[in-house]
Structure 1
């Protein structure tokens, strides 16, 4: 259990920790000289259960609010320390607001220096602090009246904290590890050491982690000044690191993560603005984890508390991360909140559908609820959402509903869509095709580009083709070569074209996989080349013929034969692929025509060319 102190400068936070643990957390000479906490201090209190309590001593002076924020990020509990002879002061209120914005659930109220005042003054301060805490959301916060110099109330406070630590539920450790660094130093013979809080997952000696896209290794672990083999989510520890470490990295504010989390300079967030705070469009300070970043705030929906943070340098974050916004010029805290989408969008950030998704994510409290809200809005790219939630992709897929869902997979992408989403997309596509057939009765149907397939289905092309294949299997849709059409549609040929088409078919069919070229066809039909080309182009648009090469047309049945050769080669190949020479030998059509046919199969989405080999495209 990790406990941070909070409160106004010189209200006895450091002295309180010393009284509880016997450790003086003011370790710097300047802190000793000035009697003022400047840097974060740490202390441990042994527990009878073997799980020690970790204390973080933070500065109370307004000049060191940034350091204070680094200390309270990720703690389990905070002790708000208020001196009985002073009462509530400016930093008391600001620290309490920060604890509220960071989502610290457990708060204890410590009235210090009780030996310096009479009972009436002490109780006036107690009432004042309780009212302040209740207003901030801690109506039932426990109150301890102590004196760190005389020892009054210290034993009772220590016993209560230890009991609370024993009863506290441990955080789940099944997510990938994320470690928040708040201090870095070097030890002779060991090298780089960082301290901080393991926000999620677990760490083990020898484990590999990612730092700014580079790999580091956990050489050893310490918790409460003792060597350990493993630490779990919610625990403070020290890591001795090897690998990609240097004088510049890591530093306070950096994250170590088990997964490579993407960087982004836009964070879509749920934002709470403190009363009487004065916001402006200039550069503000974002306190995220233990780091400080320059940021501009764009309100997307002020009534719903939705905003986008635009950073000067990209950061890695995940859904649910807490943050604080401060005005560095005025040295005041303006507000804070929670990260909703760590990969904020540029275009369409204020569209109703986008705002509805962010509002749903703002109300969500679990990854399951985030996933459910995303599915209600449309297609969900599962690997991308898993990273936003800091989950393994497999773990996220275990949260998918058992029924009413379709998972599309192609070209390394996996997207989940609901059946109502698919049905709505089909209705939209069917309407487009019906309009096309009405406007072009002589044509078989449009190609994917002509129909605007990606925009129509709102899916990447490989996944859109997966839906097309599904609808073809269901009999709703037909595809002849490149043309998409409704099953009931038949192109209406011009007068005279039917008879000429029959003559052309009679010349092409005997050629098998190598029909005659256009010039040879014109000679056989005794037609002018220009007139024949115009006819062949009309037949291509109607779907009766297919231009596989610039000077060679095929019947649809002949194209099916070309595809059958490719499928047979793949079926017979241990690698599931084939090259041009193998296709040439299997088809017997010659080298030049083989190249033209294979390029056509690539364009038609039948095959995929990778390093001189061709693979069949799924679907």
Structure 2
């Protein structure tokens, strides 16, 4: 029996089964006390679920069900006692995207209160108060709104001179809206931190995205941070060299030793192409003692003139860019086969003619910087090479 009473037939884009939802609930008896361990009967639409109910604050509650449910903002329901003999109360769904933490905080209760309005008013209120922005994908799914209606809401915001930035986030069809006051403050913090970093670390080209996020103590998601960074990159206020982010005006100050080393090692790495010599092999080629060589290699990586892929492998930034382009082509070739299986280490090895161990090190490096992602034995390109390694 695959279909039961109360089941929904929905478009794949709208399919979002849930186990928790935040609701507005009123009890018939205003003195009724919930028992956290009790199991109540929820009747929503034509479906029936056994649920636990937790009071969040004011008239807001969280309903949890072991089985999955389908619901949207505004759907009405009733709750009956554990024996299903008496109707205890009723209410409506407020939000099906329940936060993992601080579910009953003042901020969350304020969000739920804002969501009690019509869609456009709710969007305005959330935009004004949400420092993390409003994910339009979740907003549309929660309220069962078509993308065309979302576009009209955005046009109305612009008509009313409500300034915001629309940030494109990975895996989301619709952008995240971030009010201009929050966007401006985040950008100010990032640019200010980079300026101070450059003044103190003149020999370093810049910072990786994770290091920059830690430096500004960014408390929200890495996806939001990446979206904000992308606006700074697009506007030219920040530049990317290799995987390092820096101000456009910043130039590294290399020591005479580092400049001499680069002049010596650059031709070696250019000739080596995709398979650079190991650190100990560089010792033999340059006649530089191992400890001194390792120190200069570390300093060169910090300066952005070399990229460290593994403990004993360093690449020129332009070689990494070429390898990234090769990886994009390999991924596109596999996509053309309509298998949705990505590409494997073996396929990368055979196509690049690089040894298996170095292939693994390269792909793990690409994973670590966010260029590729691993799923089982397959890998997929997450974003264009320019977004990670600059242009």
Flag whether TM exceeds 0.5 (same fold).
yes
Shift of 1:331: 5.6
SS in 2 for 1:531: helix
Shift of 1:408: 0.5
TM-score relative to the length of structure 1: 0.49
RMSD: 3.9
The range that moved more, 543-552 or 325-334, is 325-334
Shift of 1:320: 0.2
Distance 1:409 1:287 in 2: 36
For these two proteins, the number of residue pairs brought into alignment is 357
Distance 2:323 2:305 in 1: 17
Shift of 1:466: 4.3
Deviations 1:446-499 (A, max 9, x none): 3233334798273454x6434423311212212222322333445566xxxx12
Distance 2:380 2:32 in 1: 62
Distance 1:355 1:544, change over 3 A: same
Shift of 1:318: 0.9
Checking the alignment, whether the CA contact within 8 Å between 1:508 and 1:555 is kept in structure 2 is no
Deviations 1:483-518 (A, max 9, x none): 22333445566xxxx121122111222231625543
Shift of 1:572: 9.8
Alignment map for 1:68-87 (pairs within 5 Å): none
Checking the alignment, whether the CA contact within 8 Å between 1:446 and 1:485 is kept in structure 2 is yes
Which protein shows a greater Rg? 1
2:311 aligned partner: 550
Shift of 1:361: 0.7
SS in 1 for 2:218: helix
Structure 2's unaligned 5+ residue stretches are 159-163
1:410 and 2:147 are equivalent in the alignment:
no
Q: 2:20 aligns with which of 266, 288, 292?
A: 266
1:605 and 2:373 are equivalent in the alignment:
no
1:540 and 2:267 are equivalent in the alignment:
no
1:317 and 2:97 are equivalent in the alignment:
no
In terms of fraction of residues, the more strand-rich structure is 1
Q: 1:499 aligns with which of 246, 252, 256?
A: 256
1:477 and 2:238 are equivalent in the alignment:
yes
Distance 2:96 2:295 in 1: 55
1:523 aligned partner: 284
Q: 1:300 aligns with which of 52, 56, 59?
A: 56
Deviations 1:524-550 (A, max 9, x none): 443211221122112222323222343
Checking the alignment, whether the CA contact within 8 Å between 1:481 and 1:604 is kept in structure 2 is no
Distance 1:342 1:601 in 2: 35
1:429 aligned partner: 190
Checking the alignment, whether the CA contact within 8 Å between 1:263 and 1:314 is kept in structure 2 is yes
Checking the alignment, whether the CA contact within 8 Å between 1:522 and 1:532 is kept in structure 2 is yes
1:84 aligned partner: none
1:398 aligned partner: 151
Distance 1:343 1:412, change over 3 A: closer
TM-score relative to the length of structure 2: 0.73
Distance 1:521 1:381, change over 3 A: same
Distance 2:102 2:4 in 1: 36
Structure 1's unaligned 5+ residue stretches are 1-243
SS in 1 for 2:54: strand
